[in-house]
């Protein structure tokens, strides 16, 4: 018997050789079983499941009245999950020994987990409580299947939230950062660029940004830079200071604010409609679960 293929060690493991069961001559009928196992050895997952079935069968026959909380079952879906996790990490399927090691470690962790629960170690730990809550919410969210909205339904949603989808002022601009330059140097370079193209050195540092909202520009370069850009005329190079130093900046195009149409934001509106519907279904599912409990308020206001 290959004891390293089981999560529990044989009863005679570690005893003197005289205490171990004597080998007996195998009957002919065993040959077919040996042939089956030999073939199964080429598929580690199948071999593991065959051996597990034997172990669990013996346990069911002789274990009798064992507390169900003390029974750990490693079934095919779990074994497949362990195998797939290994394949994702290693890029290949586990061999027989690796499969047995995966199962052994999982069983060891499951034993520790159940003993911790039995000792009440999950009680009073806010971190564990929050993780369990988050996991159940995620499971509920995953099970909240939402179909895509129809055209009329999406249009109605858009009309109700049209202000949210309005397009603010947006800017197309180019800028060149001038490391070590002061305001005077930046202004001189801006004046030079007014009548000629940037030199090769400056052209290497030139960066263009299209369709940026002022809020985004403030996040990138700071409020002073964004304010200077918003106030300058299009097509002119100007000196502007950011949190990184002095730049020369040219406003290419200013796109005025306008009300978006559904076609402008269709993908975004559809995704947000589906997210809202999914959250609603999750809230309904949690309320249904809450209905199974008797909630009592036992405190003074």
Q: State whether 114 and 9 are in the same domain.
A: yes
% of the chain at pLDDT higher than 70: 77
pLDDT in tens, 157-186: 899 988 888 888 999 999 999 999 999 999
Segment 19-40 shows an average pLDDT of 51
CATH code of residue 178: 3.10.50.40
Predicted pLDDT at 13: 36
Average the pLDDT over 245-256 and give the result.
96
Is the same domain home to 103 and 185? no
Per-residue pLDDT at 21 exceeds 70: no
Per the structure, the count of domains in the chain is: 2
Give the residue from 219, 218, 224 showing the smallest Cα distance to 239.
Answer: 224
What does the angle CA 72 – CA 78 – CA 80 come to, to the nearest 5 degrees? 150
Span 5-24, average pLDDT: 41
Q: Confirm whether 234 is domain-assigned.
A: yes
- Report yes or no on 267 lying in a domain: no
Answer whether residue 280 is part of any domain: no
Query: What is d(CA 159, CA 289) in angstroms, rounded to the nearest whole number?
Result: 34
pLDDT of residue 126: 87
Q: What pLDDT is recorded for position 162? A: 86
147 — phi, psi (to 5°)? Answer: -80, 155
| pLDDT-based confidence at residue 82 (cuts at 50, 70, 90) | very high
Within-domain flag for 139: no
- 10 located within any domain: yes
Is residue 214 in a domain? yes
Could you give the CA distance from residue 2 to residue 20 in angstroms, rounded to a whole number?
14
**Domain range enclosing 8:** 3-14+27-118
- Domain shared by 9 and 100, yes or no: yes
| Shared domain check, 38 and 99 | yes
Lowest-confidence segment of 77-81, 123-127, 212-216 by average pLDDT: 123-127
68 pLDDT exceeds 60? yes
Query: In whole angstroms, what is the distance from residue 142 CA to residue 137 CA?
Result: 9
């Amino acid at each position: 018997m290959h004891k390293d293929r089981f999560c529990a060690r044989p009863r005679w493991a570690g005893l003197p050789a005289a205490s171990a069961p004597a080998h007996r001559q195998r009957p002919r009928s065993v040959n077919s079983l040996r042939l089956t196992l030999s073939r199964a050895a080429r598929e580690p997952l199948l071999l593991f499941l065959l051996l597990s079935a034997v172990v669990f069968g013996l346990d069911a026959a002789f274990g009798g009245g064992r507390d169900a909380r003390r029974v750990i079952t490693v079934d095919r879906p779990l074994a497949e999950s362990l195998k797939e996790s290994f394949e994702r990490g290693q890029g290949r399927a586990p061999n027989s020994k690796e499969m047995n090691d995966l199962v052994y470690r999982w069983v060891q962790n499951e034993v520790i987990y159940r003993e911790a629960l039995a000792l009440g170690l999950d009680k009073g730990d806010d971190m564990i409580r929050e993780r369990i809550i988050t996991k159940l919410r995620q499971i509920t969210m995953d099970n909240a299947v939402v179909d895509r909205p129809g055209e009329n339904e999406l249009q109605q949603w858009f009309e109700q939230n049209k202000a949210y989808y309005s397009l603010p002022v947006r800017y197309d601009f180019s800028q060149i950062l001038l490391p070590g330059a002061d305001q005077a140097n930046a202004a001189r370079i801006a004046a030079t660029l007014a009548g000629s193209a940037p030199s090769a050195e400056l052209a290497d540092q030139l960066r263009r940004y299209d369709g940026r909202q002022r809020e985004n520009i403030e996040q990138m370069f700071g409020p002073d830079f964004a304010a200077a850009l918003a106030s300058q005329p299009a097509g002119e190079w100007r000196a502007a200071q950011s949190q990184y130093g002095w730049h020369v900046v040219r406003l290419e195009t200013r796109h005025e604010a306008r009300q978006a149409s559904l076609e402008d934001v269709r993908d975004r509106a559809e995704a947000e409609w589906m997210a809202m519907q999914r959250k609603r279904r999750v809230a309904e599912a949690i309320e249904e679960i809450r209905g199974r409990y008797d909630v009592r308020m036992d405190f003074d206001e």
